[in-house]
Structure 1
Amino acid sequence: MNTGTRARLRRISTDDRYLIVPMDHGVTMGPVKGLVDIESTIDAVTDGGADAVLTQKGIAPRVHDSKNGSGYIVHLNGSTNIGPDESDKRRTGTVEAALRAGADAVSFHINVGSEYEPEQMTDLARVTERADELGVPTLAMAYARGPDIEEDDPEALAHAVRLAEELGADVVKTGYSGDGDSFAPVCAGSRLPVVIAGGSRGTDRQTVEMVRGAMDGGAAGVSMGRSIFQHDDPGAITRAIAAVIHDDANVDEALRRGGLLEA
């Protein structure tokens, strides 16, 4: 890893732990709750302890004045949920465009096991090669998704994570297997920092329990979107998750720090 990549990784993490809030969902889902006034959401989550936020390049002008010194990641592919196939992620930018937008890192989504895997593998390999040349970290969003794949299957998740390392990523995001014991082999199969996706929102306790379990299984953090940015208080849930990731808090203590523990 070159000096530039190492330096930029520090901008999107704290002590090698990651609390990333992706908000690129406007491409996929449109201007949903939490993304209409994205400036306020970014301000809340970064004030709450997020290490970095992630968007598509066109939202960059709305990011920088609101991110409170946190890192910024630009996502380089996407699809919509009203198109013919949401799994068919297409290129939306380049590493150079991300740098012009003020990014500290780039990210790229690949559905391992889908019919689009071959093209997405090729594109991810090209992104990591160019990013390495420019000293820019790549976050690979490597999901196990295909017609015959259970998305929380630890073996499939481990395969997706290892693929990301093999193709040159610096950090990898994947799905969660459901508990720390089953997630441990997913993390052990690669030397990359592994962060988990959040998926659709659960209760506050379910969200924090998921983060606690992942960290106990060896995860390096989260890249969690809707569970955070669609929360009624994004800053509060961010503080709770940050307590687990950065302070090793238990579930009740984390909820208490976020002001979310029921009396």
Structure 2
Amino acid sequence: MNAGTRTRLDRIGTDGRYLVVPMDHGITLGAVRGLKDIESTIDAVTRGGADSVLTQKGIAPRVHPNKNGKGYIVHLNGSTVIGPDSDDKRMTSTVEEAVRAGADAVSVHLNVGSNHEPRQIEDLARVTDAASRLGIPVLAMTYARGPGIDGHDPESLGHAVRLGEELGADLIKTAYSGDAESFEHVVESTRLPVVIAGGAPEGDHATLAAVRGAMDAGGAGVSMGRSIFQHDDPEAITRAVAAVVHDDASADEALDLAGLSVEV
């Protein structure tokens, strides 16, 4: 890893742990709750302890004045839920465009096992090559998704994260397998830091318990979108997640520290 990549990787995390809040969902889902006034959401989550935020390139002017000095990642591909196939992620930007947008890092989504895997492998390989030349870190979002594939199966997830390393990424995001014991296999499948996706919100305690399990398995943090930016109090839930990721709090301790009630 060159000095530029290492330096910029430090900008999107803290001491090798990462709390990234992706908000590129506007291209996928539209201007859903939490993204209409994305300026206020970015301000809230970065005040709450997010290390970095992530959007598509066009949102960059709305990010920089509100991110409170935290890191910024530009996502380079996308699809919509109303299109013919939401797994068919197409390139929406380049590394050079991301640099012009003020990015500290870039990210690419790849659905391992889908019908679109071959082209997405080529896309990620091209991105890592271009990013390496410019000293830009690459977050590879490698999911196990396709016909007959269990997206939480640890063997499939292990394959997905290893693919990201094989293609030259610097940081890997994937789904959580459901428990710490099985997620250990996923983490051990690569030498790169592994962060978990948040997925659809399932309640504060469930969210924090998943983060705690991932960290116990050797994970490096989270890249969590909807569970944070659609929360009634984005700043508070970010503070709770940060307590688990950066301060090794339990789920209950994190809820208490953030002033959030425990669901019954």
Q: TM bucket by the smaller chain?
A: over 0.9
C-alpha contact (below 8 Å) 2:252/2:262 kept by paired residues: no
* TM-superposed deviation, 1:261: 3.0
- Aligned AA for 1:161? V
- Aligned residue for 2:60? 60
* TM-superposed deviation, 1:258: 1.1
Q: TM-score, normalised by structure 2?
A: 0.99
> After the TM superposition, which residues 196-215 of structure 1 pair with which residues of structure 2 at under 5 Å, given as runs?
196-215=196-215
- Aligned AA for 2:30? G
Provide the alpha-carbon RMSD of the alignment.
Answer: 0.8
SS at match of 1:245: helix
SS at match of 2:249: coil
- Aligned AA for 1:155? E
SS at match of 2:42: helix
- Paired positions, count: 263
SS at match of 1:27: helix
Is there any run of 5+ residues in structure 1 with no aligned partner, and where? none
- Aligned residue for 2:86? 86
- Aligned residue for 1:74? 74
- Aligned residue for 1:173? 173
- Aligned residue for 2:164? 164
Structure 1 consecutive aligned stretches of length 4 or more whose deviation exceeds 6 Å: none
- Aligned AA for 1:171? L
Residues 64-111 of structure 1: per-residue CA shift (max 9 Å, x gap): 010001000000000000000000000000000000000000000000
Question: Within 2, Cα distance between the matches of 1:97 and 1:169?
Answer: 18
> After the TM superposition, which residues 126-165 of structure 1 pair with which residues of structure 2 at under 5 Å, given as runs?
126-165=126-165
- Aligned AA for 1:88? D
SS at match of 2:31: coil
Question: Within 1, Cα distance between the matches of 2:120 and 2:159?
Answer: 15
- Aligned residue for 1:247? 247
Question: Within 1, Cα distance between the matches of 2:34 and 2:257?
Answer: 22
- Aligned residue for 2:23? 23
Question: Within 2, Cα distance between the matches of 1:203 and 1:89?
Answer: 28
Q: TM-score, normalised by structure 1?
A: 0.99
- Aligned AA for 2:14? T
* TM-superposed deviation, 1:262: 3.8
Question: Within 2, Cα distance between the matches of 1:262 and 1:25?
Answer: 28
- Aligned residue for 2:98? 98
Question: Within 1, Cα distance between the matches of 2:37 and 2:89?
Answer: 25
Residues 156-197 of structure 1: per-residue CA shift (max 9 Å, x gap): 000000000000000000001001000001000100000000
Question: Within 1, Cα distance between the matches of 2:44 and 2:179?
Answer: 29
Question: Within 1, Cα distance between the matches of 2:114 and 2:203?
Answer: 30
- Aligned residue for 1:220? 220
C-alpha contact (below 8 Å) 1:114/1:146 kept by paired residues: yes
* TM-superposed deviation, 1:252: 1.2
Does 1:33 pair with 2:38? no
Question: Within 2, Cα distance between the matches of 1:262 and 1:6?
Answer: 38
Question: Within 2, Cα distance between the matches of 1:258 and 1:81?
Answer: 33
* TM-superposed deviation, 1:257: 1.2
- Aligned AA for 2:64? H
Percent identity over the alignment? 71
